[in-house]
């Protein structure tokens, strides 16, 4: 049986996204949670997992940079699917009769609920955990003087016996997170695909980024995302990370990538995959 990894433990949005995604897939897999993004990618690289799911972008907070940095370094694995999950954060406590002194969650939910927290809990200390489920696990075992609130999916309340103080506290009610499925075999074209590409431009060459992007524009290939990440080797040097419409095997996109290769010092297609729903 294949092992499918997610950011654990059980009860995280990653697990919920994975289970929802698998409902429409005819596969026999076992799901395994890992404690951090680093450990998740390590499990894939070491072949302990045949595939993993990772959160790559949130509609409120943007790219999950830790994940993007790992994607840029993919080796012998490919982005093979995307999945979009609507996010609803809830504030939960063990004992609703006590006033909250601290709130704990993954840094992304805290950021996505920033205005709510500033308005309703301006004096409460905010604490980061590796995942929402890790935060809930910590609070479940905590017996100190502080009174912790947890931000996460409502399933955590059922799992740990928490009381939900307030529902859907995210600042944007149209809060969605995009996930990537990463596995070992590239996909075939479906006619409704996207591709993710990473490249670096020619050093010290004026207009080098524009020259690259113009190749996509000249063939009417729509770019749906563009961002940059430092190379972490030299100040001011960046890798560019883009999503575009089309499959790398499509004739037009394949032609564009060959032209782009001549205008970049490095380029790699991280995968092509069927467009996910919104």
Residue carrying the six token digits 């394949």: 254
For residue range 254-274, what is the model confidence (pLDDT) as tens digits? 999 999 999 999 999 999 999
Question: 148 vs 207, which has greater pLDDT?
Answer: 148
Report the C-alpha gap between 64 and 180 in whole angstroms: 12
Superfamily of domain 193-274: ACT domain (3.30.70.260)
Query: CA dihedral defined by 133, 138, 143, 145, rounded to 10 degrees?
Result: -100
Superfamily of domain 2-87+175-183: Periplasmic binding protein-like II (3.40.190.10)
In the chain, the percentage of residues whose pLDDT exceeds 90 is 76
User: 0.95 cut: is pTM over it?
Assistant: no
Report the 3 state secondary structure along 60-110.
Answer: CCEECHHHHHHHHCCCCCEEEEEEEEECCCEEEECCCCCCCCEEEEEHHHH
CA-to-CA separations, 64 to 29, 91, 250, in angstroms, rounded: 26, 22, 29
Q: How many residues are given for the chain?
A: 278
CATH architecture of 90-166: 3-Layer(aba) Sandwich (3.40)
The pLDDT assigned to 1 comes to 62
- Let me know if the fold of 2-87+175-183 is the same as that of 90-166: yes
For residue range 61-81, what is the model confidence (pLDDT) as tens digits? 888 889 999 999 888 999 999
Would strands 176-183 and 78-86 be described as parallel, antiparallel, or unpaired?
antiparallel
Domain ranges of the chain: 2-87+175-183, 90-166, 193-274
What are the φ/ψ torsions at residue 218 (nearest 5 degrees)?
Answer: -65, -25
SS3 27: coil
Report the 3 state secondary structure along 194-256.
Answer: EEEEEEEECCCCCCHHHHHHHHHHHCCCCEEEEEEEECCCCCCCEEEEEEEECCCCCHHHHHH
For residue range 80-127, what is the model confidence (pLDDT) as tens digits? 999 999 989 999 999 888 999 999 999 989 999 999 999 999 999 999
């Amino acid at each position: 049986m294949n092992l499918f990894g997610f950011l654990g433990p059980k009860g995280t949005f990653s697990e919920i996204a994975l289970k929802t995604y698998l409902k429409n897939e005819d596969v026999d897999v076992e799901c395994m949670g890992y404690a951090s993004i680093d450990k998740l990618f390590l499990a894939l690289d070491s072949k302990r997992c045949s595939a993993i799911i990772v959160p790559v972008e949130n509609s409120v907070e943007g790219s999950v940079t830790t994940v993007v940095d790992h994607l840029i370094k993919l080796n012998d694995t490919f982005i093979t699917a995307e999945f979009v999950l609507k996010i609803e954060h809830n504030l939960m406590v063990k004992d609703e009769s006590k006033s909250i002194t601290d709130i704990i969650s993954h840094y992304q939910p805290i950021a996505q609920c920033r205005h709510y927290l500033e308005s309703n809990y301006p004096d409460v200390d905010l604490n980061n955990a590796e995942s929402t489920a890790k935060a809930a696990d910590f609070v479940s075992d905590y017996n100190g003087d502080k009174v912790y609130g947890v931000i996460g999916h409502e399933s955590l309340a059922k799992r740990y016996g928490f009381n939900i103080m307030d529902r859907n506290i995210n600042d944007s009610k149209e809060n969605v997170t995009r996930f990537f499925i990463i596995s070992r075999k590239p996909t075939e074209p479906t006619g409704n695909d996207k591709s993710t590409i990473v490249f670096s431009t020619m050093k010290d060459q004026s207009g080098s980024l524009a020259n690259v992007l113009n190749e996509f524009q000249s063939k009417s290939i729509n770019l749906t995302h563009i961002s940059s990440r430092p190379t972490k080797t030299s100040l001011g040097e960046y890798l560019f990370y883009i999503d575009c419409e089309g499959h790398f095997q499509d004739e037009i996109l394949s032609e564009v990538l060959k032209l782009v290769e001549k205008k970049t010092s490095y380029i790699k297609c991280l995968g092509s995959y069927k467009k996910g729903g919104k």
